[in-house]
Amino acid sequence: MMEHIPLNFPFLAAALLAGVAFYIIIFKRNLIKLIMGIALLASAVNLFLVALGYRAGGNAPIYTDVPPGPMVLPVPQALTLTSIVINVAVLALMLTMVVHIYRHTGDIDSKKSRRLKG
Amino acid sequence: MDSLITHSPALIVALPLLAAFAIPLINRAGPRVRDIFNLVIFGFVAFFVAILAVDVYSVGIHVYTFGATAAELALPGGYTVPVRIMFEVDGMSIFMGIIITTVTLASLIYSLQFLKGRTGQARFYSLMMLLYAGMMGLAFTGDMFNLFVFLEIASIAGAGLAAYRTNMADAVEGGFKYIVISAVSALLVLFAIGILYAQYNVLSIAALANYMQYTTLDMMALGLLGGAFVMKLAGVPLHMWAPDTYTVAPAGTTPMILAASYTAMYALYRMTFSLYGGHIDTTAIGWIVIIIGVLSMFIGVMMAVHQTDIKRMMAYHAISQGGYMLLGLGVGLAVIADPVALANYGRDAMNGGIFHIINHVFYKALLFMTAEAIFFRIGTRDTNKMGGLARNMKWTTAFYIIGALAISGIPPLNGFASKLLIYESVLRFNPVLSVIAMFVSLVTLASFAKVFYSAFTGPPMPAYKEVREVPKSMIIGMSILAVLIIFFGIFPGLIVDTIVAPATDALINQASYINAVMGAVP
Amino acid sequence: MLSKIVRTVANQLFLFILIFGLYVIVHGHLTPGGGFQGGAVIVSGVVMLLVAFSSKDLQKSLRERFLSIMESTGALIFAILGFAGIGTVFFYNFLVGTSIFGRIPPTGPNPGDIWTGGVIPLMNLAVGLKVIAGLSAVVLAMALFSIGEEIEE
């Protein structure tokens, strides 16, 4: 079954996720949905990074008790880990700010809770 | 002393990080100890920046490899590609480093007495040190992924500082917009880094520039990188976050968030000049940069004229002046392949654009500090409610006059020197652009004069009769910048030859950037 | 605050989660894992305690002062380990060849030896300490925030 999935499949999935994420970020007005859109974009980029390191039939790039054979690339996995950590911090910061905005204005619709205009 | 110079890039980024982690512990000993600790650490860092600048200007590009057996060992024995994380400091990097360090020093002294009576002061200084470390790392890095990490550090720290006054609703909204834009822009940068790594299997900027063949995927990566950095530097059409964020950030931090935007502009220049360099169609890309610059200049100043909030007006002017820098460097990029035009006016355009960065950061920081000084004393930013403040706040009025004259390009202040360079060189490239730039400068002067008449002169309002001058530390912070503005205005030739011309040479000369890493002998 | 069964089971399970998280942190240089991953596992245990007991009860045992000191200590140890090799370069692995974590592993597939890696396992422990303190503070602050209270200074 595995050999019938074209090798481009993860990249198509990453592009689709990124497209959906951009649609959400640009067109949705609810602030929580905006944060979900950014989390989705982060997942798309992480998927793209891990998928570009894949080599067909490779094992995990760890020397401890690894079966013989080729390995996948380890550097994109390190980039993905760093990206996940940074996105955790960014999402926590954004959620805290949305809670503050809700406390001040009572609404999380971006059109109704705007105070800076012009 | 030699070993200090060798290790200075690492120390410049690592000491503020150490200070940022240690400040919550030191804060338990009392606020005085914390303030002295901040100033001592920052004094050391400023000293390291000074000796690194002297070394880069006299010797050449300074490479620092983390974790190797010697600091200059970019290629370990037997390797043909650099495998470790590196800092590569050339003329343009240390130029941005000088700007960031000066602005942070002024902001640090300014914030010492601005924060009285607020909670969470230890976290404020911690975030300020993190923002400084992030910006300096972004300026010094020679590695693509390090660029992403330091960009995110600077964004998160900047957003935390912008939303510091959580008791005001609009402050949190400004910080929220900043972190949303920064998160999207950083994810686009990571996407582009993935594309570049997938093709060439290296992450170091010099190695990528060496192996670059300009395929379709590379064009996509350039588009993503360009879009991400234009978003971060508030160029039109992606400038909507800048007025909100610059308005609500507390006093000492608006200059630093401004410097973060211009460090992102430096990253854009690093990508187009040093990473892609001779492979791209520089005329087309140069014209795109010029058009974004002209749009920013025009739309920024037109939106600024009818603002009533004084800081929001200054924020729109920041967008407009950013257009001047993009115009100067865009003209330089457009003629970089043509040696005759480059020698005639290309170098002068780039000199003007780069000189304008340091001038603009200084006078815009001074103007923001005066606006926040007014807010500190009378509690409002609305120019319709202000009046007659010149009688009570003499120092603030003097600093505002210096800043307003500098931004309009009046001699003998520094704005005149850089704007004259840009006007003359752009005139020989295309006269229409130069006329637009001069018109924008006139409208800038008009809007600042209008605010001066309404806020500072005129009969004093009865509510503000007892308003006193701002505390001493804020005056000292503002006067550092004012002295530098006047000094740069009186001796512009000296500054251009010492600081700006090496930066221009570093951007034009892509080959020396690559050879500093790839040609290094183990 | 959930029922007595949930509270008792949560108390017992937290110990297992703690052991698994510490295993992931300490073996970071041999198997997948490391500082952040192990710290996140332990914080998921803290979240389980937060859900079983109410956030106000958890705030009495997990004070903000303790978390702040733990976080700063972890970060300072990381920075000092980076500075310790400054005789050669910053972040130089100065423990290779010495007795603390200093053995050199053979290249190629091998059963992992925990005493290798140099300064990396110590940095994993420092990062794990910081991540536990930081993420616990974030989770606790959000839980208290949503019921209308702030975390004490």
pLDDT mean over B288-312: 88
pLDDT mean over B159-169: 85
Quick: pLDDT tens for B448-499: 888 888 777 777 777 766 677 778 888 888 888 889 888 888 888 888 888 8
Question: How do the residues of chain A divide into helix, strand and coil, expressed in percent and rounded to 5?
Answer: 65, 5, 30
Question: How close A72 comes to chain C (CA, Å)?
Answer: 14
- CB of A82 within 8 Å of a chain C CB? The answer is no
State which of B116-125, B382-391, C40-49 shows the largest mean pLDDT. C40-49
Task: Report yes or no on A46 lying in a domain.
Answer: yes
Report the distance separating Cα B172 and Cα B250, nearest Å.
Answer: 12
Helix axes B310-334, B431-455, angle to 10 degrees: 160
Contact A115 B170 (CB under 8 A): yes
Give every CB contact of residue C54 below 8 A, 6+ residues apart in sequence: C1
Contact C89 B11 (CB under 8 A): no
Q: What residue ranges in B47-156 does DSSP mark as E strands?
A: 62-65, 86-89
B512 contacts B91 by C-beta, under 8 angstroms: no
Give the pLDDT score at B398. 87
| Closest chain C residue to the Cα of B121, Cα to Cα | C153
Average model confidence (pLDDT) across chain B: 86
Tokens matching residue B164: 């510091």
Q: Global pTM?
A: 0.94
**Max CA pair span of chain A:** 64
For chain A, percent of residues with pLDDT exceeding 70? 95
Contact C86 B68 (CB under 8 A): no
Helix, coil or strand: residue C2: coil
Give the pLDDT score at C36. 93
Show the domain range for A89: 10-105
Chain C residues closer than 8 Å to A59 by CB: none
Question: How close C112 comes to chain A (CA, Å)?
Answer: 5
The interface pTM score, or ipTM, of the predicted complex is 0.94
B499 contacts B52 by C-beta, under 8 angstroms: no
Tokens matching residue B219: 């064009």
Report the distance separating Cα B213 and Cα B205, nearest Å.
Answer: 14
Give the pLDDT score at B192. 94
B385 secondary structure, DSSP code: G
Contact C79 B70 (CB under 8 A): no
Query: Would you place residue A91 in the very low, low, confident or very high pLDDT band (cuts 50, 70, 90)?
Result: very high
* Partners of chain A (3+ Cβ pairs below 8 A): B, C
B283 contacts B337 by C-beta, under 8 angstroms: yes
A window 83-112, beta carbon within 8 A of B: 83, 86-87, 89-90, 93-94, 97-98, 100-101, 104-105
Helix axes B414-429, B431-455, angle to 10 degrees: 150
- Nearest residue to A83 (alpha-carbon basis) of A42, A37, A50: A42
Quick: pLDDT tens for B85-124: 889 898 999 999 999 999 999 998 888 877 776 777 888 8
pLDDT mean over B219-247: 89
Report the distance separating Cα B164 and Cα B130, nearest Å.
Answer: 15
Contact B197 A34 (CB under 8 A): no
Residue from the list A82, A94, A104 with its beta carbon closest to the beta carbon of B179: A94
- Nearest residue to B397 (alpha-carbon basis) of B438, B351, B447, B448: B448
For chain B, percent of residues with pLDDT exceeding 90? 26
B428 contacts B434 by C-beta, under 8 angstroms: no
First to last CA, chain B: 23
Identify residue B390 by its one-letter amino acid code.
A
Chain A residues closer than 8 Å to C111 by CB: 64-65
Cα B106 to chain centroid distance, Å, stands at 14
Contact A52 B166 (CB under 8 A): no
Report the distance separating Cα C78 and Cα B365, nearest Å.
Answer: 34
B185 contacts B156 by C-beta, under 8 angstroms: no
Residue from the list A64, A67, A68 with its beta carbon closest to the beta carbon of C30: A64
Identify residue B9 by its one-letter amino acid code.
P
Q: Does a cis peptide bond (omega within 30 degrees of 0) precede residue B412?
A: yes
Scanning B306-334, the segments in alpha helix (DSSP H) are 310-334
**Alpha-carbon distance values, B343 to B289, B338, B424 (Å):** 20, 9, 14
Quick: pLDDT tens for C83-118: 888 878 888 888 887 878 888 888 878 887 888 888
Phi, psi of B441 (to 5 degrees): -65, -40
Contact B156 A89 (CB under 8 A): yes
- Model confidence at B522: pLDDT above 50: no
Task: Report yes or no on A111 lying in a domain.
Answer: no
Average model confidence (pLDDT) across chain C: 88
B384 secondary structure, DSSP code: G
Phi, psi of B65 (to 5 degrees): -100, 125
Give every CB contact of residue B2 below 8 A, 6+ residues apart in sequence: none
Give the pLDDT score at A3. 64
- CB of B179 within 8 Å of a chain A CB? The answer is yes
* Partners of chain C (3+ Cβ pairs below 8 A): A, B
- Nearest residue to A10 (alpha-carbon basis) of A54, A42, A40, A41: A54
**Beta bridge partners of residue B89, listed in sequence order:** B62
- Model confidence at B521: pLDDT above 60: no
B279 contacts B214 by C-beta, under 8 angstroms: yes
* Cα dihedral B507, B515, B93, B85 sign: positive
Report the distance separating Cα B339 and Cα B447, nearest Å.
Answer: 40
Give the pLDDT score at B380. 75
Question: How close C35 comes to chain B (CA, Å)?
Answer: 17
Chain C residues closer than 8 Å to A96 by CB: 141-142, 145
Contact A116 B172 (CB under 8 A): no
Identify residue C129 by its one-letter amino acid code.
L
Delimit the domains of chain C by residue range.
4-146
Chain C interface residues facing chain B, Cβ-Cβ under 8 Å? 68-69, 71-73, 75-76, 79-80, 82-83, 86, 88-93, 153
**Alpha-carbon distance values, B110 to A2, B47, B165, B248, B252 (Å):** 63, 20, 17, 17, 6
Helix, coil or strand: residue C110: strand
Contact C141 A64 (CB under 8 A): no
Helix, coil or strand: residue B482: helix
- CB of A42 within 8 Å of a chain B CB? The answer is yes
- Model confidence at B435: pLDDT above 80: yes
Report the distance separating Cα B256 and Cα B101, nearest Å.
Answer: 10
Contact A62 C141 (CB under 8 A): no
If one compares B100 and B391, the residue with the highest pLDDT of the two is B100
Report the distance separating Cα A35 and Cα A24, nearest Å.
Answer: 9
Quick: pLDDT tens for A29-61: 899 999 999 999 999 999 999 999 888 888 888
| Closest chain C residue to the Cα of B64, Cα to Cα | C89
Q: What is the 3-state secondary structure (H, E, C) of B447-474?
A: HHHHHHHHHCCCCCCHHHCCCCCCCHHH
The CATH number of whichever domain residue A16 belongs to comes to 1.10.287.3510
- Nearest residue to B91 (alpha-carbon basis) of B60, B114, B124, B136: B60
Report the distance separating Cα B87 and Cα B204, nearest Å.
Answer: 10
- Model confidence at B187: pLDDT above 80: yes
Mutation site, C72, C94, C95, C96, interface B, largest B CB count within 10 A: C72
For the ranges B208-222, B288-302, C37-51, C85-99, the lowest mean pLDDT is seen at C85-99
- Model confidence at A117: pLDDT above 80: no
Task: Please report which helix (H) or strand (E) contains residue B485, including its range.
Answer: helix B472-490
Number of domains chain A contains = 1
B289 contacts B430 by C-beta, under 8 angstroms: no
C85 contacts C92 by C-beta, under 8 angstroms: yes
Chain A residues closer than 8 Å to B187 by CB: 38, 41-42, 45
> Taking the CA of residue B455 as centre, how many other CA atoms within 13 Å lie in the half-sphere pointing to its CB?
26
Contact A96 C145 (CB under 8 A): yes
**Alpha-carbon distance values, C71 to A96, B84, B123, C133 (Å):** 20, 29, 13, 5
